[in-house]
């Protein structure tokens, strides 16, 4: 079975965009591939979080992924910093990564521009750590968004380079696995193109019923169509896209017919969206609460995930040490 690995940045709460755009695909993938998921907490150190930040965000993201249906029996989920073998591979990859190529990575250049006061070495070698995560497990496929393509190219480059330097055929080049082009782009509640944390237009999976209803009822609309079969302005098209995701095709078609006949009442459409969003989110929200209040369970899941990941990682590290010329420890 092909091996899939994905790193999850522990930033904030999951929203509907993350859910329809990524997490739902992960849940499906765990039945089709030999999957592993990990929370990339070492990567998060580039922004200098406090210990409290780290503990809280790891717990949050873990509870939310589990609540969405990631099943640790099918797909181990672990915390990156629990698997220390990754650091050793990171060191070896750093030795074969060149300053010029690391400086040319677009996301690094962006960070230099956005946070000139914190251009740390961890940012520069971010692609080495990511490659270590992936190569460690000999992953065939890595589900990533387009923004990660350059990091994936670096991972492939480091794999090839290692093989060339040591004249071995050891690391395989991991393929990028785009599910994003198949998955829908979830629009924001403010009528803009994309739901995103930084846009402040999100419906979060952990939002309570009242908040969900309030956010949806306030979603941006216009005065309504003034002609039969009128083309929809972007904000309205976005509301319909959200409606189809939340309420399904039939409901979206029903409101589409009303729109075309100039009989649409956005209030009614939103009421149904709010009711259906709450029906979708209520069980997820309940599970988030259940997981996040059960530290012992979370701890057990993290520990079991780390054990499985460390067993694989240890084997890789032993082989890599042998290839490089280090003694067995």
Which lies closer to ligand TRP via its Cβ, residue 29 or residue 142?
142
Residue range at the interface with ligand TRP (CB under 6 A); choices 53-61, 129-137, 214-222, 309-317: 129-137
Quick check: 245 binds ligand TRP (CB under 6 A)?
no
- Listing DSSP states for 258-276 in one string gives HHHTT---HHHHHHHHHHH
d(CA 290, CA 301): 14
Taking the least distance from each CB to ligand ADP, the nearer of 18 and 125 is 18
Q: Which residue lies nearer to ligand ADP by CB, 219 or 317?
A: 219
Helices (H) and strands (E) in the chain, counts: 15, 5
Decide if residue 9 touches ligand TRP (CB under 6 A).
yes
> DSSP letters of 93-146?
HHHT--HHHHHT-HHHHHHHHH-GGG--HHHHTHHHHHHHHHHHTT-SEEE--G
In the list ligand TRP, ligand ADP, none, the entry touching 93 (Cβ below 5 to 8 angstroms by class) is none
Question: How far is the C-alpha of 252 from the C-alpha of 244, rounded, in Å?
Answer: 5
Q: What is d(CA 284, CA 265) in angstroms, rounded to the nearest whole number?
A: 29
18 vs 316, which CB is nearer to ligand ADP?
18
Nearer to ligand TRP, 134 or 281 (CB): 134
State the Cα–Cα distance between residues 106 and 103, nearest whole angstrom.
Answer: 8
Residue 197 site contact among ligand TRP, ligand ADP, none (CB < 5 to 8 Å, cut-off depends on kind)? ligand ADP
Check binding of 145 to ligand ADP (CB under 6 A). Answer: yes
Interface with ligand ADP, residue 194, by CB under 6 A: yes
Return the residue of 148, 238, 278, 292 that touches ligand TRP, per CB under 6 A: 148
Q: Are 80 and 41 in contact (CB under 8 A)?
A: yes
Q: How far apart are CA 192 and CA 316, in angstroms?
A: 45
Residue 180, number of CB atoms within 10 A of its CB:
16
Is 111 an annotated catalytic residue? yes
Rule CB under 6 A: is residue 7 a binding residue for ligand ADP? no
Nearest approach, Cβ of residue 82 and ligand TRP (Å): 14
Q: Cβ closer to ligand TRP: 6 or 213?
A: 6
Residue 24: active-site member: no
Q: What are the angstrom distances between the C-alpha of 59 and each of 64, 84, 275, 279, 293?
A: 9, 20, 29, 25, 10
Report the C-alpha gap between 294 and 304 in whole angstroms: 16
Q: State which of residues 22, 39, 152, 206 lies at the interface with ligand ADP (CB under 6 A).
A: 22
Q: Do the beta carbons of residue 151 and residue 102 sit within 8 Å?
A: no
Stretch that binds ligand ADP, among 195-203, 261-269, 277-285, 288-296 (CB under 6 A): 195-203
Among 138, 161, 185, 271, interactor with ligand ADP by CB under 6 A: 185
The residues annotated as belonging to the active site are 111, 194, 197
State the residues that interact with ligand TRP by CB under 6 A. 5-7, 9, 40, 43, 130, 133-134, 142, 144, 148, 151
**Residue ranges that bind ligand ADP, judged by CB under 6 A:** 9, 11, 17-18, 21-22, 145, 180, 185-186, 194-198
């Amino acid at each position: 079975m092909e091996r899939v690995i994905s790193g999850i940045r522990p930033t904030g709460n999951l929203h509907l965009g993350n859910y329809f755009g990524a997490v739902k695909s992960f849940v499906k993938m765990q039945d089709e591939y030999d999957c592993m998921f990990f929370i990339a907490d070492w990567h998060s150190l580039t922004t200098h979080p406090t210990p409290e930040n780290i503990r809280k965000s790891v717990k949050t993201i873990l509870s939310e992924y589990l609540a969405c249906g990631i099943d640790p029996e099918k797909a181990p989920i672990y915390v990156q910093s629990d698997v220390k073998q990754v650091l050793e591979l990171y060191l070896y990859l750093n030795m074969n990564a060149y300053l010029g190529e690391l400086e040319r990575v677009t996301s690094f250049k962006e960070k230099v521009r956005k946070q000139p006061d914190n251009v740390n070495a961890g940012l520069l070698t971010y692609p080495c750590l990511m490659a270590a995560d992936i190569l460690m497990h000999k992953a065939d496929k890595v589900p990533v968004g387009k923004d990660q393509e350059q990091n994936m190219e670096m991972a492939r480059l480091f794999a090839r380079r290692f093989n060339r330097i040591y004249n071995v055929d050891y690391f395989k080049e991991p393929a990028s696995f785009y599910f994003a082009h198949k998955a829908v782009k979830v629009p924001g509640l403010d009528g803009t193109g994309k739901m995103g944390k930084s846009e402040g237009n999100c419906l979060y999976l952990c939002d309570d019923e009242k908040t969900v209803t309030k956010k949806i009822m306030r979603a941006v609309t216009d005065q309504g169509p003034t002609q039969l079969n009128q083309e929809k302005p972007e904000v309205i098209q976005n509301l319909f896209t959200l409606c189809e995701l939340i309420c399904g095709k039939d409901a979206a078609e029903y409101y589409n017919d009303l729109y075309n006949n100039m009989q649409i009442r956005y209030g009614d459409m939103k009421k149904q969206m709010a009711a259906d969003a709450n029906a979708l989110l209520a069980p997820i929200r309940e599970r988030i609460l259940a997981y996040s209040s059960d530290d012992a369970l979370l701890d057990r899941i993290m520990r079991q995930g780390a054990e499985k990941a460390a067993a694989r990682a240890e084997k890789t590290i032993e082989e890599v040490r042998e290839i490089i010329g280090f003694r067995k420890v």
